[in-house]
Amino acid sequence: MANITEQKSEAQAAYEEIKSRYLQMQASIKKHFPKVDSRLVRELLMHSADATEGTRLFSLEVLAKEGTNPEKARDYFLSKTGKVPSSYEHGTHYLVNVLLTFELLQDIQSYPEVEYITGSYVGVTSAVSQIHYHRGADEQSRIMDD
């Protein structure tokens, strides 16, 4: 009986350590990437650990403030990513497939017109349409993080 109790205690201790480190990581992500979906940062971290050059292809969705000049935003994203983004929702939602790095993510979030960045790992293929909506019923869910 002591063995089972000891195993539960070890498992609980392991859980508490993992939970504590996870909460620390979440706080660090929010501190350094306040405009970025934490899932995207965790995904980038996971794929960066063992990625070879050219395998970190991500589909980024950048949500911009209302009134953003679409031409200036397009030119900015082009200068940072080397790719012309697709534009949706009257120039407030951009989609671009990039070989993502933490530095590039930091650069994009620093653009004053950026409101929020989300996206997902696509490997070696690319996404061709948006999956998040900037306005409407999804307005609150898009900014909710786990």
pLDDT confidence of 111, banded at 50, 70, 90?
Answer: very high
Tell me what pLDDT residue 28 has.
95
Whether the per-residue pLDDT at 146 is higher than 50: the answer is no
Are residues 94 and 40 part of one domain? yes
Domain that holds residue 93: 34-143
Across the range 93-114, mean pLDDT stands at: 94
For 15-49, b/e burial (b = at least 16 CB within 10 A) is eeeeeeeeeeeeeebeeebebbbbebbebbeebee
Number of separate domains in the chain? 2
Are residues 46 and 95 part of one domain? yes
Are residues 66 and 15 part of one domain? no
pTM to 2 decimals? 0.75
Are residues 80 and 117 part of one domain? yes
Across the range 69-93, mean pLDDT stands at: 91
